[in-house]
Structure 1
Amino acid sequence: MIDFQDKTAQATKAMRAVFEATPLQRNDHLSQKFGADIWLKREDLSPVRSYKIRGAFNAISKVLAKTPKQNLFVCASAGNHAQGVAFVCKHFGVKGVIYMPVTTPQQKIMKTKVFGGEFVEIVLVGDFFDDTLAAAQEFCKAEAGHFLSPFDDMDVIEGQSSVALEIEAQLGRIPDVIVLPVGGGGLSAGIVSYFGMDALNYVFCEPLGGASLAAAVANKGPLTLDTVDSFVDGAAVARIGSRNFAALMDVTPDQVLAISEDRLCTTMIEMLNVEGVVLEPAGALSVDALTDIADQIKGKTVVCVSSGGNFDFERLPEVKERAQRYLGLKRYFILRLPQRPGALKDFLGMLGPNDDIARFEYLKKSARNFGTVFIGIETDDRANFAKLEQTAATAGFGLRDITEDTAIADFLV
């Protein structure tokens, strides 16, 4: 019987006809910052800017090897899986029908069309992914197509395991620590199946708003989350795959990290500004996790898998906003302003030289002694806000911080 590593080797060899191995790069900035030998496995540099091409290629090639006449492949995805499937369908010259939610950004739809060309049809159905998935599966069954799961499929898992083989070959050995982003579990299941759970130290990181692996570990089996924060769209999965968890069932709670979406934004900005590396939220998870394991990795060789770089720059203002709020450098206030000449000027005089007004809305109502101002302020030192609030209170101005009051801030911001 062929063992898993042999299957991985065969799958990896076949992939070389389509794309080269993604680079494993030592990152001097992160190595110096954390006192470790840190390497990035740059899956964001694959032809579709994510590792998803691997699983799609292996799954489709295996189906075609068994059933050469199969000419219809179907998937449901709003992101990297769709692009991987499209690319591989074009490579093999087979038809792919890709279902996407109606709310999918045009940038992702266009990229999928570019990768698939005339071999891919895109169908926009449903406001939510569950509706899209149901429609895709119904169509697939009716048309006798082959459904391509984004992660809960043994051929997909096997394809993703090629990342592990490349890491070992490029590094020349197994690293001391490997940090893996987790969504549905395809990548982590493949790498753990290749190396084995006891071969090295694993750190699994998932978004705080989509911690499906942590839930499965606690439940000793896959569990569907009640709600999911979709910000980390490449890893925000409500339920880890059953086949994936079968490979991860020995994971312990201390190996799983929940990454704050807001802190993740600071890492995305840092990697962009310092290293010139564009990472999507899911692609930055493993780098962000280094902060939580800094004491554990000093002097060790660490590989972080940067899983994807499909970032829509229209999201950059939101990423910057969340990063500033996490760092405490931007806050929102409701200012109760006396209706007298010079009151606003008095308040503005309380701002420091490095305080900047980023938002200002005057909400005065008639026949009132006080008007209301919604104001957003940016600064270079979070301590400046405490000084401002104290100065305003002493002068008799009401200044209410609503940054963390989601009911109000989400409406106004």
Structure 2
Amino acid sequence: MENFAASVRQAELALRDLFEPTPLQKNDHLSAKYGAEIWLKREDLTPVRSYKLRGAFNAMRKIVATRGTGHFVCASAGNHAQGIAYACRHFGAQGTIFMPVTTPRQKIDKTRIFGGGAVEIVLTGDYFDQTLAAAQEFARQQDAIFLSPFDDPDIIEGQATVGHELLEQLGTAPDLMVIPVGGGGLSSGLARLMAERAPGTELRFSEPEGGTSLRAALQAGEPVTLPTVDNFVDGAAVARIGALPFQELSRFAPDQVLAAPEDRICRTMLDMLNVEGIVLEPAGALAIDVLDDLGDIRGKRVVCICSGGNFDFERLPEVKERAQRFAGLKRYFVLRLPQRPGALRDFLELLGPDDDISRFEYLKKSARNFGSVLIGIETSRPENMAALCDRLDAKGFGYRDITHDQILAELLI
């Protein structure tokens, strides 16, 4: 039987009909920061700006080779949809792509462009589970071929071509590889390939803190469904790791999976944008973000997989806001303000020279003599916030910091 590495090599050769290998770039900024040799595998530079095209193309080419042109169906609100659309156009195959009604127009338009006249987009369901069920039922009724984003051996094989390319480009095995995890297609493919081609390379996996489905599965010994998922990292926020990927990933320990806080990911995205001019979507920044959590990596050769760059710049204000909150440079308070002349002036006099009010909104009078005010403060250094709180305490102002109170922040901010 052909081994996995050999089949991945054949898949990688076939991919050259679509695009050249994505760059593997040594990053001087990160290398200097960590005292290591940090390389970035730039999957944000494929024709669809993510690695998902690899698996879609590989699965489709095998089906077309054996059955002829078929009718392909998928459910996706993002990168998988774009990869399927691009591959359908390449093979001249019919594609039907189901997307939630809530999908941003930008993603719908990009998918339509990549597919040309080969794909039809169906908007259905407010939630992805509804969209997925509709797509699978449609595929059954039409006798079409449903392509999962990660629970398919040919999809996994295609994603593993990332590893074949980077080993050829690097010319040697890295000491450590950091891989982002969503449903597990990329991570399981790379884990299997590296076990054959570079067994001495350590692997670490990065999941969004609000969607640690791999870690939960490793702790339970089987895939489990998370009760809630934070969808901010939309390219990797998956409630349940894929069954096929878990078969490969089950050999790893839970402490080899690192959780990346969503607000810190925002800081990483801004850092890469402002310092390096690299545009990454939240999932694309996962591997870089956990470099802080790897311990001492000085002197090591480390490869981070930058999985995608489909970032909607309309989200930039939110990303900046969350990055500031993580850095301690922006906080929100509900202030209990006395209802008397001069009370506001008394508060303003407590602000430091670098403190700035970014939000001020009366909420209600909580009592005859006091009112509640929502106030947002920005500053230049996190220690300024501690000093402000000390001054508020000394002057007897009542306040509540709601910056990290998820329920109140969603209601008020």
Aligned to 1:55: 55
**One-letter identity of the residue aligned with 1:80:** N
- Report the equivalent of 1:409: 409
State whether residues 71 and 95 of structure 1, in contact with CA within 8 Å, keep that contact through their aligned partners in structure 2.
yes
Q: CA deviation at 1:156?
A: 0.4
| Paired AA for residue 291 in structure 1 | D
Indicate the SS of the match to 1:403. coil
For the residues of structure 1 that align with 2:366 and 2:84, how far apart are their CA atoms?
60
Q: Is the 8 A contact 2:22 2:45 kept in 1?
A: yes
Range with greater deviation from structure 2 (216-225 or 48-57):
216-225
What's 1:28 paired with? Answer: 28
SS at match of 2:116: helix
Are 2:352 and 1:374 equivalent residues in the alignment?
A: no
Q: What is the alpha-carbon distance in structure 1 between the residues aligned to residue 337 and residue 240 of structure 2?
A: 49
Between 340-349 and 96-105, report the one with greater CA deviation: 340-349
Aligned residue in 2 for 1:112: 111
TM-score, normalised to structure 2, is 0.97
Q: CA deviation at 1:317?
A: 1.2
What per-residue deviation string (whole Å, max 9, x for no partner) do you get for residues 189-243 of structure 1? 1111112073310001111111111111112221121111111111111111111
Distance 1:349 1:71 in 2: 71
CA contact (8 A) 1:182 1:205 kept: yes
TM-score (norm 1): 0.97
Tell me by how many angstroms 1:260 deviates. 1.0
Count of matched residue positions in the alignment of Structure 1 and Structure 2: 411
Aligned pairs for 1:177-216 (under 5 A) are 177-196=176-195, 198-216=199-217
Match of 1:310 in 2: 310
Distance 2:55 2:384 in 1: 50
CA distance in 2, matches of 1:216, 1:398: 44
Paired amino acid for 1:50: S
Give the AA of the match of 1:144: D
Whole-angstrom distance in 2 between the partners of 1:57 and 1:313: 28
Residues 317-354 of structure 1: CA distance to partner in whole angstroms, max 9, x if unpaired? Answer: 11111111111111111222222222212211111111
User: Which amino acid is the alignment partner of residue 71 of structure 1?
Assistant: G
Q: Partners of 1:412 and 1:45 in 2: how far apart?
A: 38
Amino acid across the alignment from 1:349: E
Task: Give me the CA root mean square deviation.
Answer: 1.4
CA contact (8 A) 2:366 2:372 kept: no
CA distance in 1: counterparts of 2:304 and 2:184, whole angstroms? 16
C-alpha separation in 2, matches of 1:162 and 1:270: 28
Separation (CA, whole Å) in 2 of partners of 1:378 and 1:191: 42
How many Å apart are 1:364 and its aligned residue?
A: 5.1
Give me the whole-angstrom Cα distance separating, in 1, the residues matched to 2:330 and 2:145.
49
> CA, structure 1 residues 367+31, in 2 after alignment: closer, same or farther (shift >3 Å)?
closer
1:290 deviates by 0.4
Within 5 Å, give how 1:12-411 maps onto structure 2.
12-68=12-68, 70-196=69-195, 198-295=199-296, 297-363=297-363, 365=365, 368-411=368-411
* SS of the residue 1:209 aligns to: coil
CA contact 1:34–1:294 (8 Å) conserved in 2: no
Give the letter for the 1:274 counterpart.
V
* Amino acid aligned to 2:275: V
Cα drift, residue 405 of structure 1: 2.4
Percent identity among equivalent residues?
Answer: 64
| Deviation of 1:407 (Å) | 2.5
Displacement, 1:367? 8.3
| Alpha-carbon shift at residue 19 of structure 1 (Å) | 0.7
Which one is further off, 165-174 or 402-411?
Answer: 402-411
